[in-house]
């Protein structure tokens, strides 16, 4: 008896409101805004008064799925929220909002807050994009607004998105709503998302999967890894597959 491993070309992901079959060749991993500006002290998130340590829990689950996606050759897309140095793509309504300790464009410990090219705008080292992975810079909360994400996904024939990142109820939720309206099946990884407000994380996920999955599915990293795991088939010495 011989044993043969082969990569799964598709898999069924345990999810809510129900399992979903995904063809991995038409599926991309979309990692939203895992930037130092949101994740680390001194960045945009903290200037708004948030406890950035709340977001750290998403890093390991994302890294596990990112590694599996890299091994399988899946299309990987990272996004970064931020603005041009002259702020020409930053609406005054966004820049002037609230009473942050530093506003978008102000100099902070990781460079100018939420500005492209600054250290704080970049992705955290643990999830840093590799050559060949796509990085989409976006000025808004949704990853489709004012970006070429739609064109990129069309070019690669993508129909399904595994979505993770921060924050659950803001940029993840906005992007999943945009993607759903464009016809993508979105599976959001609950443990691969996080919010500064745990209750918003929970409600952000509930909103996606309620009403029979009103704009997507919710799963987790373990379920996705299980669905992606290469299957083992036993082949008898006589050559008959069992
Ligand atoms: C926010 C984001 N929360 N990436 N951005 O302003 O969710």
**pLDDT of 101-147, one tens digit each?**
999 999 999 999 999 999 999 999 999 999 999 999 999 999 999 99
User: In testing the pocket of ligand 1, which one of 171, 195, 201 has its CB within 8 Å of the most ligand atoms?
Assistant: 171
Is 171 a known active-site residue? Answer: yes
Q: 139 C-alpha to center of ligand 1: Å?
A: 11
Q: Give yes or no for residue 241 having a pLDDT over 80.
A: no
Q: 238 C-alpha to center of ligand 1: Å?
A: 58
d(CA 194, CA 45): 13
Q: Give yes or no for residue 224 having a pLDDT over 50.
A: yes
Q: What is the pLDDT of residue 7?
A: 59
Strand partners, 189: 219
Could you tell me if the CB of 79 is within 6 A of ligand 1? no
Angle of helix 173-181 versus helix 198-213 axis, rounded to 10: 20
Residue whose pair of structure tokens reads 């379920």 in the numeric block: 223
The whole-number average pLDDT for the span 33-39 is 98
For 135, list phi and psi in degrees, rounded to 5: -120, 120
DSSP three-state, residue 138? strand
- When the pLDDT of each residue in the chain is averaged and rounded to a whole number, the result is 93
Could you tell me if the CB of 27 is within 6 A of ligand 1? no
d(CA 191, CA 59): 9
d(CA 212, CA 191): 21
Angular region, 137: left φ>0, alpha ψ -120 to 50, beta rest: beta
Q: What is the pLDDT of residue 233?
A: 53
User: In testing the pocket of ligand 1, which one of 31, 36, 38, 95 has its CB within 8 Å of the most ligand atoms?
Assistant: 38
Could you tell me if the CB of 102 is within 6 A of ligand 1? no
Could you tell me if the CB of 168 is within 6 A of ligand 1? no
Could you tell me if the CB of 171 is within 6 A of ligand 1? yes
Q: What is the pLDDT of residue 15?
A: 98
The answer to whether residues 75 and 28 touch, using CB atoms and an 8 Å cutoff, is yes
- Gyration radius (Cα) of the chain, Å: 19
The whole-number average pLDDT for the span 71-88 is 98
Q: pTM of the predicted model, to two decimals?
A: 0.93
d(CA 2, CA 17): 39
What order of strands is seen across the sheet that includes strand 27-32? 134-138, 75-81, 27-32, 160-166, 185-194, 217-219
Catalytic residue among 37, 122, 138, 209: 138
Band (175; pLDDT cuts 50, 70, 90): very high
The answer to whether residues 103 and 40 touch, using CB atoms and an 8 Å cutoff, is no
d(CA 221, CA 192): 7
The whole-number average pLDDT for the span 30-38 is 99
Q: Give yes or no for residue 234 having a pLDDT over 70.
A: no
Q: What is the pLDDT of residue 8?
A: 73
Give 215's contacts (C-beta < 8 A, 6+ positions apart). 176, 177, 180, 186, 207, 208
């Amino acid at each position: 008896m011989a044993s043969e491993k082969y990569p799964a070309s598709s898999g069924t992901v345990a999810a809510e409101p129900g399992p979903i079959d995904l063809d991995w060749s038409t599926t991309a991993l979309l990692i939203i805004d895992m930037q130092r500006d949101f994740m680390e002290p001194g960045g945009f998130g903290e200037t708004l008064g948030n406890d950035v340590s709340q977001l750290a829990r998403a890093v390991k689950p994302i890294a596990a799925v990112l590694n599996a996606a890299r091994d399988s050759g899946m299309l990987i897309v990272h996004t970064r929220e931020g603005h041009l140095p002259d702020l020409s793509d930053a609406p005054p309504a966004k820049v002037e909002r609230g009473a942050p300790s530093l506003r978008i464009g102000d100099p902070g410990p990781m460079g100018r807050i939420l500005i492209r090219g600054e250290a704080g705008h970049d992705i955290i080292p643990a999830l840093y994009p590799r050559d060949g992975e796509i990085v989409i810079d976006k000025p808004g909360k949704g990853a489709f607004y004012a970006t070429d994400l739609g064109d990129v996904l069309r070019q690669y024939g993508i129909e399904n998105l595994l979505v993770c990142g921060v924050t659950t109820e803001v940029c993840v939720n906005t992007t999943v709503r945009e993607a759903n309206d464009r016809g993508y099946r979105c599976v959001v990884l609950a443990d691969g998302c996080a919010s500064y407000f745990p209750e918003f994380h929970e409600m952000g996920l509930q909103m996606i999967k309620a009403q029979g999955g009103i704009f997507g599915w919710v799963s987790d990293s373990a379920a996705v890894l299980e669905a992606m795991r290469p299957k083992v088939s036993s082949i008898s010495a006589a050559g008959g597959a069992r």
